[in-house]
Amino acid sequence: MVGLISPASRDLLENWLRHLSALGGVSENTIEAYRHDLAGFFAFIGNHHGGAVGLSPLKSVTTSDMRSWMTHERDRGVAARSLARQLSAVKSFFRWFAERDGFEPTAVLATRSPKFQKKLPRPLAKDAAKAMIETVETQQPKNWIAARDVAVLTLLYGCGLRISEALGLKGKDSPLPDVLRIKGKGGKDRIVPVLDAAKTAVDRYVKALPFDIDPDEALFRGARGGALSARIIAKSMENARMQLGLPATATPHAMRHSFATHLLEAGGDLRAIQELLGHASLSTTQAYTAVDTARLMEIYAKAHPRGQG
């Protein structure tokens, strides 16, 4: 396969990979995956046109070439998810290449990614969600940091907030009101009821906080007083799940899934849960919850008795 790639193309690929490494934030495993994906793409283009692929053929890749490549990958058993990842790598490379050499990469960039069902984090059982909140509290040497982590997880699980939404709260949001107006994805506002447990957890954190609260600054702070990062909460949950023997799917986002699933299991209305989560589509909310089909049908029958006839 590598023999079908010209030295110039191989050098170009390595330059791009070095560029990605220099930018930071890209793991070595990802770099290797990109190298493999692009080498495979180059080899296909070479085979497709009957010769080693150089820079000129790459600049001339057509919509037909892209379709043929994707068909070839599917025919050799590449799953839709993996093909979507390969296409993403090819597009990323061509954006950089086109900017560097000044050509139009529309044929590549306009190629549509194959559809696949996104894997969602599995929700935690009710006792596991409770144990997670209790365990993060015991891990921190400082009381205010322990109270902070409990408050954040309580907002995720008790109010169904995204981690970005919880960390986006400002000092002026404390003490928490009975309802929060949350600006979610796409700038859409939604109203979220606040449980007493969430109010209590945030009040406890604020009382323990060693920093002054500025109304327009982040409510949740890092150890040095700056805005708290999502990575810190993820790390706290990672340590807790290892202690509890929970799977790697026990993430901050999984707490939000747990909120939705447990509400639905309790007989909550799917459309009401959709609004609480800020989902644009009801189908997204259905996919988001881990309630079995029989239970869903039971809930639907109760909500829509006319549907039984």
Angle, CA 84 vertex, CA 80 and CA 85 arms, to 5°:
120
Options 148, 162, 257, 262, the catalytic residue: 162
DSSP code at position 189: E
162 is catalytic: yes
- Run of H or E residues at 15: helix 7-23
Left (φ > 0), alpha (ψ -120 to 50) or beta: where does 81 sit? Answer: alpha
104: burial class by Cβ within 10 Å (0-12, 13-18, 19+)?
Answer: exposed
Tell whether the torsion through CA atoms of 285, 290, 294 and 295 is positive or negative.
negative
Options 148, 221, 241, 279, the catalytic residue: 279
User: Over the Cα atoms of the chain, what is R_g?
Assistant: 25
253 is catalytic: yes
Please report where in the chains the tokens 């919509």 appear, as a residue: 63
DSSP code at position 120: -
Options 199, 256, 257, 262, the catalytic residue: 256
256 is catalytic: yes
185 is catalytic: yes
Options 10, 48, 126, 253, the catalytic residue: 253
Options 142, 185, 188, 235, the catalytic residue: 185
Q: What are phi and psi of 111, to 5 degrees?
A: -65, 130
**Mind telling me the catalytic residues?**
162, 185, 253, 256, 279, 288
